Amino acid sequence: MAFVKNSFFILTVIIMFLISQSDIAFANEAEFASSPNPVGSGARALGMGGAFIGVADDATAASWNPGGLFQVETPEISFVGDWFHRTEDNTFGGHPESNGPEVVSKEAVNYFSMTYPFRRFDRTMVVSLNYQRLYDFTRERNYHFTEKDKETGEVLLDEDIHYKQFGSLSAIGLAYSIQMNNFLSLGFTLNFWNDFLNNMWEKQYDFKGYEIAKTDSSTFIPFDIDESNTDRFSFNGFNANIGMMWRINRLNVGMVFKFPFTGSLNHEYWDDTMNEPEENNEELTIPGSYGIGLAYRFLDDDLTLAADIYRTEWQDFIRTEQGRDISPLTGLDANKANIKATTQIRLGLEYLFYKKHIPREEEWYVIPLRAGIFYDPAPARGGERDDYWGVSLGTGYGCKEIVLDLAYQYRNGQGVGASMFDRAIHFSQDLDEHKIYLSVIIRHFKGKRGRHQY
């Protein structure tokens, strides 16, 4: 039986590219729901637009720059929760019937840490145990495709596709920081990405509709489409981050390097026709990234201005499948994918309204005001990039025993995501993403604390 040319084309495009391609795909099998670039956690940092490498002076420092962790002066426990609401307005150049917005929301625990400072050998040291949820894959879409015979106008394919993805990747980190002298401190974080953290993601496709096939004798035969398939992935690995903080007068210079690493990727696949899933053991290489941050304090430490530049080497993002190295973004051989590195730019400020209770001057509280902007590009095929921009605002309350921080972040991308489908689909989307972060830090106060750390 020979399908008509148009029907065969659209069916091939839908199945081959919808299943195998994604806008920022993890091993061609999962999409980063938010920014693919590795960033730290905490409402304070996010309120400053993520410009925190040169600040890194609270319990979330291990996720940004472990070299700054020595600035934590008291034992602390921190907790961070987040919520996002994302709208993707999709455009299919050749199939306007599939155009329209998709909306998804979710809340989750983003970060947890226990931090303990101490002194040994006349040096300040800090150790920290951290949990961070680095990547979230929550996404849901519905597509409707039709294809007509060019001569008769008869509908040859009418199909609804429902796509759902969920899961996340998290790491347990062990961090250590030491103050080398009055100007320099060093630190590292060891990150363990293990199964007990439920490091998995799953994607599901449901296909429903009908197709009309045309035989050699020009007889049209209709048949229904009712199929589903599922891919499930689990990931294990280990990597390390190193950082440094150089301080002179009111200026901080921070640097961080997050090592690339290759982890094991277990892939299970099944559909309606299978009695048990197919299982493959693969590898996934996460690229290295590095950045530098500056922070300068004015007005008796009440005002901080910060700026970060951060780069991710996406050309090293490689999946090894059955002895073949491929780019998870394009599905092409890694040496032909032409994927380029991306560079983030983040700017932020923090102003502290500092008060004391009278007559007991040792009792005080701080109300901060924060704002930031950022440029957060994502890699795309052909050496291109998808441009995302954003702004953030934050505030909170801090005293000796507790710190509460709240941040709002807006992220936008126009005409992005073309790598999700084959070029023949002429796909793009406009993205609007809203995030809210809430951080709580509880500490055992001892000694005197600087106002910039409130």
What is the model's pTM? 0.84
Q: What is the pLDDT of residue 236?
A: 94
410-415 CB contacts, 8 Å cutoff, 24+ apart = 410/434, 410/435, 411/34, 411/35, 411/376, 411/435, 412/388, 413/378, 413/386, 413/387, 413/388, 413/389, 414/387
CATH class of 5-453: mainly beta
Whether 299 contacts 289, CB under 8 Å: no
**Local structure of residue 54 (DSSP, 8 states):** T
The count of other CB atoms within 10 Å of the CB of residue 305 is 17
Closest CA to 366 of 425, 316, 303: 303
Q: 220-248 and 200-214: which strand pairing?
A: antiparallel
Instruction: Using CB atoms within 10 Å of the CB of residue 330, give its burial: 0 to 12 exposed, 13 to 18 middle, 19+ buried.
Output: buried
Cβ contacts of 442 within 8 Å, gap of 6 or more: 76, 77, 78, 401, 402
pLDDT tens-place string over residues 369-386: 999 999 999 888 778 888
Closest CA to 246 of 38, 449, 70: 70
Give the largest CA-CA distance in the chain.
98
Structure tokens, 200: 């998995």
Q: What is the pLDDT of residue 451?
A: 44
* Residue 316 φ then ψ, to 5°: -95, 5
User: Where are the domains positioned within the chain?
Assistant: 5-453
Report CA-CA distances (Å) from 86 to 104, 138, 151, 410: 5, 10, 41, 10
Cβ contacts of 269 within 8 Å, gap of 6 or more: 229, 230, 231, 232, 277, 278, 280
Q: Where are the beta strands (DSSP E) in 93-183?
A: 100-120, 123-136, 139-148, 155-179
Tell me which amino acid residue 405 is: D
Whether 364 contacts 375, CB under 8 Å: no
Mean pLDDT (the chain, rounded): 83
Q: What is the pLDDT of residue 161?
A: 86
Q: What is the pLDDT of residue 21?
A: 35
The stretches in the chain having pLDDT less than 50 are 1-29, 447-452
Closest CA to 72 of 51, 44, 48: 44
State the DSSP H helix or E strand holding residue 251, giving kind and residue range, or none if neither: strand 251-258
